[in-house]
Each structure stands twice: as C-alpha cells, then as structure tokens.
Amino acid sequence: MNRRTDTHETPTFNSVTEHYRTVMGVPSAKVDMKSMPRPLQLFGYGVAAVMAVCTAAFLAMYVSQFF
C-alpha cells in the first residue's frame, strides 16, 4: 500500500482556529484519499459523486423552470 508519511498542516490564522485544533480536536492536516483503505476511498468518492449529481440535477431543474 502506498502511504505518504509527510503531512502538510494548514496554518493557523487566528486564535479561534488554534483553539479548535488544540481543545476541540479538529484535524489540522488535509485528508489524503490515497492513503485510506479501499472501502473508505470508495465511500468518499461515492458521496462526492452523489453530491455532484444532486447539484447538477438541482441546477438543471432550477434553470428549466424559467423556460
């Protein structure tokens, strides 16, 4: 399995985001889909695909009501 060991953390730009990272436990690194197990990858891509299809369908229905 190809795992990346380097983590690119997003920088903290104010005290609120620093608080959420340290106290609330919000992750600071971006998600690397390639390093996840295959079922989680498929689930993530499936959710993204469903969201894209629903957005396209909503926009198509919204535009079609004006014609």
The full DSSP string for the chain is --------BPPP-SHHHHHIIIII----BPP-GGGS-HHHHHHHHHHHHHHHHHHHHHHHHHHHTT-
Q: Compare 67 and 11 and report the one with higher pLDDT.
A: 67
Provide the residue ranges of all domains of the chain, joining segments of one domain with +: 1-32, 36-67
Note whether 46 and 53 are within 8 A (CB).
Answer: no
What would the mean pLDDT of 47-56 be, rounded to a whole number?
A: 98
What would the mean pLDDT of 3-25 be, rounded to a whole number?
A: 70
What is the pLDDT confidence band of residue 7, given thresholds at 50, 70 and 90? low
Write down the pTM of the prediction.
0.56
**How far, in Å, CA of 31 to CA of 66, rounded?**
40
